Chain A
Amino acid sequence: MGLIEAIILAVLAASTPLLLAATGELVTERAGVLNLGVEGMMIVGAACGFGGAWLSGSVIIGALCGIGAGVLMSLIFALMTLGLAVNQVATGLALTILGIGLSGLIGSRFVGEKISLAPHLHIPGLTDIPLVGRILFGEDAFVYLSLALVIGVWFFLYRTRTGLILRAAGDNHTSAHALGYPVLRIRMFAVMFGGACAGLAGAYLPLAYTPFFIPGMTAGRGWIALALVVFASWLPGRLVIGAYLFGAVTILQLHAQGWGVGVPSQLMSALPYLATIIVLVLISRARTGGSTAPAALGTVFVPDR
């Protein structure tokens, strides 16, 4: 395996949890809901995903447990912000704090246990193609699933009627409501989708990255996913660029250190953040008329009856 191939494989793995979580949050925010609890949903997804896989011996069951846990967490958020019209920012932060505590509690039984990593795909003929085979057909299934998910989300948002209605609910909930669309129900499904993606992103860490559970193992990836949504101007295509760029610079700076590039490692560690912000800001400046924040993002909607 060549070095470049090894680097690309590492980048794919490092970017996938960010892309998964950010895709979910993008849909949530497009519906007008700002859920800052991504980190909390992720870490609970990691704990339950590991637990499920450890108890059952199946990666798929683990992934489903992660998704389920993310959805349950997001339902708490939906109940508070949509049902009781509580402030979304405060609820999201509380959800993260809750998630970190809860995951420690759930995971305490599993700390120190180990599972086998999700198998890497092997499609005879395709995976063996020199240079690109391992990259295009030889990673774990989650990597390709996350890409398919983004494409699906793009298609849903821009090519389906339901996607248009969801965006309408995020841009002007009063008008959407006046037209007879169930704004709160749309938002609830969007929040649940965000929870499912965050849960899966969290579960990806113990299932396919480091096959054990340790409290706090998401280490801030949920916050990076949140930032990626903003810097990608709420557009799925830019989100893919942002997530892969962040992953790529993360891995490359580690390699650069190994090669002995004479740049202080503290600066190197900051590079993924700097590079991602600069590139995404440049893209949005170059292409004017692009999307901006959903107009009703973060605002509470109480339908008048």
Chain B
Amino acid sequence: MKKILIAATAAVLATGAGLLGASAADKLKIGFIYLGPVGDLGWTYQHDLGRLEMVKEFGDKVETTFLENVSEGPDSERSIEQLARAGNKLIFTTSFGYMEPTLKVAKKYPNVHFEHATGYKRDKNMSTYSGRFYEGRYIQGIIAAKMSKSGVLGYIASFPIPEVISGINATMLGAQTINPNIKVKIIWANTWFDPGKEADAAKALIDQGADIIMQHTDSPAAMQVAAERGKLAFGQDSEMIKFGPKAQLTSTMNNWGPYYIQRVKAELDGTWKSEDFWGGLKSKLVVMAPYTNMPDDVKKLAMDTEAAIIEGRLQPFKCPIVGQDGKEVECKGGTHLDDGQVLGMNFYVKGIDEKIPGK
């Protein structure tokens, strides 16, 4: 079901002699592996916006190719290798599940540079990059606790990986600063993308008393259900206010464009090297959608929190952090959990009643 779409970069200078443009040989070929369709309005959509922003920046110096709907796991290896064989010199693999396959292909193609999103394994020719999405989740938690009448938040989760777990924890830590007794109901959809199932999960959460819906899946289905039922919700990855003009409180949006521009520039300049980039609100990789459908005091609180995180005055995972078992978590970062602890998070904080699936 993989569809190859070759997005030959628009030859902007289509005048006279420029008709042929630069020959393919001097263009830097860049490949992207996408988890969903580019029109998913969520995770993949935002990556593709980033790609387009990058293409706009470099014009005919680059030629990009993307493969969409590439399922995670061993199957993706073929797709990544296909891009490497096709002469792409820089390849972005944009989901956690591509980690091992990317690493394997990177070892096979030492002259190709790889960039893997949201993972933690690197190599000489393989960088990682991700967003501190938990910063946005912390703000969402504060808003949710302020806005909830029932004191029960509904959370649609995808897979029990550290990124999702740290998001749940950050939400609860933020919410607990407002209401120490706040509850969260978590439903694992076991998929990143299935609008019908996401909608079913949202309905189940609302039917069980949740009045704020948060999601870590990719489609606007949950937002739409919340809107239909007169509840409030947070968007995911992208602006979803169209699907819930009276429901969306804000959305944690992923803004990959500046990073893609920076890395492609490094590749063009010959200064690319393996790195680990983890940008948050400060570096504008994570951007909050306008705060809507809330009273002014909640809006102000949200904006103050956002400013405090950007200025470094506030750390969502500031110590002490107490785990579900009642024991304090070791504080490796001095005043807050260090990046490694957040990236590998596999415990729930106190206040969450459920268990992490499979633990």
Contacts and interface: CB of A to CB of B under 8 A. Distances in A.
Report if A and B associate in a common complex. Answer: yes
Interface of A: 3, 6-7, 10, 14, 17, 96-97, 100-101, 104, 107-108, 111-112, 114, 117, 205, 209-212, 214-217, 219-221, 250-251, 254-255, 257-260, 262, 264-266, 268-269
B36 interface: yes
B147 interface: no
B221 A210 contact: yes
Contacts of A6: 203, 207
B354 interface: yes
B3 interface: yes
B193 A250 contact: no
Contacts of A257: 186-188, 204
A212 B243 contact: yes
B328 interface: no
B325 to A, nearest CB: 16
A209 B199 contact: yes
A260 B39 contact: no
Nearest to B245: A114
Contacts of A259: 208
B74 interface: no
Nearest to A251: B200
Contact of B242 (A17, A101, A104, A114): A114
| Nearest 4 pairs of A and B residues by beta carbon | A265-B188, A215-B37, A111-B39, A269-B190
23 contacts: A10-B204, A10-B207, A114-B242, A114-B243, A209-B196, A209-B199, A210-B198, A210-B221, A210-B225, A211-B224, A212-B220, A212-B243, A214-B37, A214-B219, A216-B69, A216-B193, A251-B204, A255-B207, A258-B210, A262-B355, A265-B160, A266-B357, A269-B189
B196 A104 contact: no
Most buried by B among A104, A215, A268: A215
A266 B3 contact: no
Contact of B195 (A3, A214, A220, A251): A214
Contact of B196 (A14, A262, A265, A266): A14
Contacts of B154: 258
A254 B187 contact: yes
Interface residues of B, number: 45
Contacts of A254: 187, 200-201, 204
Contacts of B355: 262
A219 B191 contact: yes
B200 A250 contact: yes
Given A260-B354, A268-B188, 15 more contacts: A3-B208, A6-B203, A111-B39, A114-B243, A209-B196, A210-B221, A212-B224, A214-B37, A216-B36, A217-B219, A251-B200, A254-B200, A258-B185, A258-B187, A260-B353
B317 to A, nearest CB: 24
Interface string B194-234: 11111111011101101000000001110011001000000
Given A264-B357, A269-B188, A10 B200 contact: yes
B100 interface: no
Contacts of A220: 194
A101 B228 CA distance: 31
A100 B353 CA distance: 41
Interface in B137-192: 154, 160, 185-191
A221 B200 CA distance: 14
A210 B353 contact: no
Interface in B247-268: none
A203 B178 CA distance: 44
Interface string B25-47: 00000000000110111000000
B236 to A, nearest CB: 13
B187 A210 contact: no
A260 B204 CA distance: 13
Nearest to A269: B190
A96 B220 CA distance: 25
B19 interface: no
A111 B36 CA distance: 14
A60 B198 CA distance: 25
B234 to A, nearest CB: 17
Contacts of B189: 269
Nearest to A117: B228
A224 B196 CA distance: 14
B14 interface: no
A262 B359 CA distance: 11
Given A7-B207, A108-B39, A214-B40, A266 B243 contact: no
Given A215-B40, A219-B195, A10 B203 contact: yes
Given A3-B207, A10-B204, A266-B358, A210 B224 contact: yes
B190 A265 contact: yes
B1 interface: yes
A219 B200 contact: no
Nearest to B195: A210
A258 B195 contact: no
